[in-house]
Amino acid sequence: MIANEPSQRLSNPQNNGKIMAAWEGFLSGNAPQSNALRCLIDDSWRRCLEVQVDPARHQALAPVNADILSSLQYQHRELLTAGKQVMAMAKDLLAETETIMILTDPNGMILGVEGDRRALAAAENIHLIAGSSWNELICGTNAIGTALSIGQAVQIHAAEHFCAGIKQWTCSATVIRDPYDGKILGAVDVSGLGKTFSPHSLALAVTTAGRIESQLAKLEMDFRYQLLERGMAKMSSATDGLIICDRRGYPIKANERAATALLARGIDFDLKNTIPIPTLSVGTFAPLKFPEAPDWLCEDWLEAVLDGGERIGTLLTIPGPRQTGVSFHIAKKNVHASTAVATDMRGFAGIVGASETLAKAVQKAKLLGKTHVPVLLLGETGVGKENFAQGIHRSGPAGERPFVALNCGGLSKDLLASELFGHCEGAFTGSRRGGMVGKIEAANGGTLFLDEIGEMPLELQPHFLRVLEEGEIYRIGETVPRKICFKLVAATNRDLRQEVADGRFRMDLFYRVSVTSIRIPPLRDRREDIRPLVEYFLRKFAEQYGVEQKQVKPEVVAALENHDWPGNVRELRNVVESMFLMASGQSLGLDELPPEIELPQTSGCINLKARASAMGKLEDAELEFIRETLEADRGNLTLVAKHLGIAKSTLYAKLKKYGLDHLVSGCRDSNHGKFVVNRDGREELEFLDMRK
């Protein structure tokens, strides 16, 4: 638009006489000359004439009463808060300049005025004061009203005003936009009598608006941080779909179950911040006419998030497609409740398996849950350390109190310190308004679960040790301690003793957090739990996706039992979910297995423990296992080592142990077997019966 050009936004006082003559002719019905007016002034005058603004008006309408003004100021409190500092500065900055600075709402209603006392007194004569509206439809062409009308910065000088009583003033104004969506929130104006004209006034207005918008952005981030802090505490333990919506009704965070829960209920809702839920718009953003809630939205799913009594957002919980009771319905078929997955599978309820090693670990965890001593969970990634931590928490006296989890890995020293200890307002650049409660303080009376504690920076360890020993915490930036009491459950997949030896973990902290410890067995050490885990996951996914339960073929279970599962239960869950979603039929076969899961050999790559039980001696089972694998792989030692899941050097040692080392030396004949030529003309190893 032409109004974007600097020459169109700034007034020229030298043209004042020509503009006054054009105004008089305009009111008489004569079109002004083409070069007499700036385009934005010509357009504004025409709008004023169209809505019959009185050109003889000498002042704005009388200000609203104090109650209405107070209500308007409360409605736009965030704008006033963001502009408080710059408006206070204007009082000193504009002293002795005979100019004032004005802040308005998006309709041109003045919310606040600061500046030179002489200018303030003159402004009262034309009602350029708080509580008066300077909308273009009421006061004609003026910087406030015209800037709001066209959404741009403008300068209106003297004769350019439409109403006669305002022509002795010069004004510069620009709009203030919401940094989030660009919506006009108000305007900032610099005004004075005509003799105070300066082209720099417009620059001052634009700069001031920019500073206010920056403050609004900071306020918005503060609200979001608080909203996320409240929501994430619930999100970490939610078993349903959970969506955090901001004050405008936009989703800003969703847990991994949200999309599935929406899909299972047939709800068409975009989680990518593109579609708001109008009924969740609150405060300044609430629509004037309260809209109807979407058909799918149940009021019971909504939970307001409050800060100091003010709603800053909403938690939206989408329950999964499950029902409690005797039976539930899936894919129009009744399925007995015995196949249902428990509503809350956190804690020990989420630990599936009956192996002896797992049962011992669970039993020990239940006993330690009744005490207040710290517990250190040892185990590889994916073994279910958080389920153990939840179980310990729930089985103890503080089971109904907060359970707060924090992963120490992947966070910088400063960020982890802030997350652990919290901070007071102004403690550092970027600190949150009102301060922040740390995870330690949030767990007061309950349980603090620190995952990957071995990755806690060395600099923070003495501070955390002091918390454990003294039972008090200092927020960053504070000098007064806060008393706290919590049960500590820590977890690591590192060897903390080695970390202590290498100087990466304090010895005193190690002995403090490892008063008691539980080693959680990896999945490869409890292969008998793989089948029940697979069946559990199949029931869970059938319920989650709202389809009929699928079965798994025995050969698939055999292949899964043969895999080493470096990612443990988490990896198994992901594999089963992938197979569940990819299977076109009602059973999972070998075709659905991912490529990293190798098929067992048809000649009998069987479970070694089962073989040992049948034969009575573990060494006999191992010998038979190696012999059968050698036969299946035709003596290819590289393949044999791979299928046995051991290093080639380990295989050589075992061959020597069982008297099969002749195969390694390249001997073409031995007491245990010999190479023969088969019908295809290729050599293969023929084994003798070594049990004779």
3-state secondary structure string across 291-317: CCCCCCCCHHHEEEEEECCEEEEEEEE
Residue 10 pLDDT level (bands cut at 50, 70, 90): confident
Confidence bin at 430 (pLDDT 50/70/90): low
User: Hey, CA dihedral for 13, 14, 19, 20, is it positive or negative?
Assistant: positive
Q: Give me 7's structure tokens.
A: 């020459």
For the ranges 29-43, 153-167, 375-389, which has the lowest average pLDDT? 29-43
- What is the model's pLDDT at position 612? 41
Is 77 in contact with 145 (CB distance < 8 Å)? Answer: no
How distant is the alpha carbon of residue 253 from its chain centre? 5
Q: Confidence band (pLDDT; 50, 70, 90) for 507?
A: very high
Integer-rounded Cα Rg, in Å, for the chain is 38
> Is pLDDT above 60 for 676?
no
Q: Is the confidence at residue 342, as pLDDT, over 90? A: no
At 402-428, the pLDDT tens digits run 899 998 987 788 889 888 998 887 776
The pLDDT of residue 428: 66
For the stretch 250-289, pLDDT in tens is 888 888 888 888 887 888 777 765 678 878 887 667 666 6
Flag whether pLDDT at 189 surpasses 90.
yes
| H helix or E strand, kind and range, residue 450 | strand 447-451
Q: Which tens digit of pLDDT belongs to each residue from 596-631?
A: 887 765 444 444 444 444 444 566 677 777 887 787
What is residue 597's predicted lDDT score, i.e. its pLDDT?
Answer: 83
**Which of the given ranges, 7-11, 228-232, 249-253, 288-292, has the highest pLDDT on average?**
249-253
pLDDT band at 519 (very low <50, low <70, confident <90, very high): very high
Ramachandran assignment for 394, one of left (phi > 0), alpha (psi -120 to 50 degrees), beta (any other): alpha
Which tops the pLDDT comparison, 600 or 345?
600
Among the residue ranges 36-45, 646-655, 668-677, the one predicted with the least confidence is 668-677
Q: For 102-159, write each residue's pLDDT tens digit.
A: 999 999 999 999 999 999 999 999 999 999 999 999 999 999 999 999 999 999 999 9
- The confidence score (pLDDT) of residue 43 equals 92
Residue 346: its pLDDT value, please? Answer: 60
Nearest Cα residue to 635 out of 679, 680, 672: 672
**Percent residues over pLDDT 90 in the chain:** 38
Work out the pLDDT band at 2, boundaries 50, 70, 90: very low
What pLDDT sits at residue 669? 38
pLDDT surpasses 50 at 448:
yes
Q: Above 50 in pLDDT, residue 324? A: no
pLDDT score at 429: 64
Check whether 174 has a pLDDT greater than 90.
yes
Rounded Cα distance between 66 and 459, Å, is 56
Q: How far apart are CA 303 and CA 85, in angstroms?
A: 34
Rounded to 10 degrees, the C-alpha dihedral 640/646/647/651 comes to -60
What pLDDT, on a 0 to 100 scale, did the predictor assign at position 68? 93
Residue 439 is encoded by which pair of tokens? Answer: 């995870």
3-state helix, strand, coil in the chain (%, to 5): 45, 15, 40
* Predicted pLDDT of residue 330: 30
pTM of the model: 0.48
- The full 3-state SS of 562-575, as one line of letters, equals HCCCCCHHHHHHHH
> In this structure, what token pair is assigned to residue 648?
């080639």
Question: Would you place residue 349 in the very low, low, confident or very high pLDDT band (cuts 50, 70, 90)?
Answer: confident
Q: What integer pLDDT is reported at residue 257 of this predicted model?
A: 82
Q: Which two tokens stand for residue 562?
A: 């043969």
Average pLDDT of the chain to the nearest whole number: 81
In this predicted structure, the answer to whether residue 336 has a pLDDT above a threshold of 80 is no
Q: 435 falls in which pLDDT band (50, 70, 90)?
A: confident
Span 24-74, pLDDT tens digits: 999 988 877 767 789 899 999 999 999 999 999 999 999 999 999 998 998
Angle at 514 between CA 511 and CA 518, to 5 degrees: 155
pLDDT given at position 541: 86
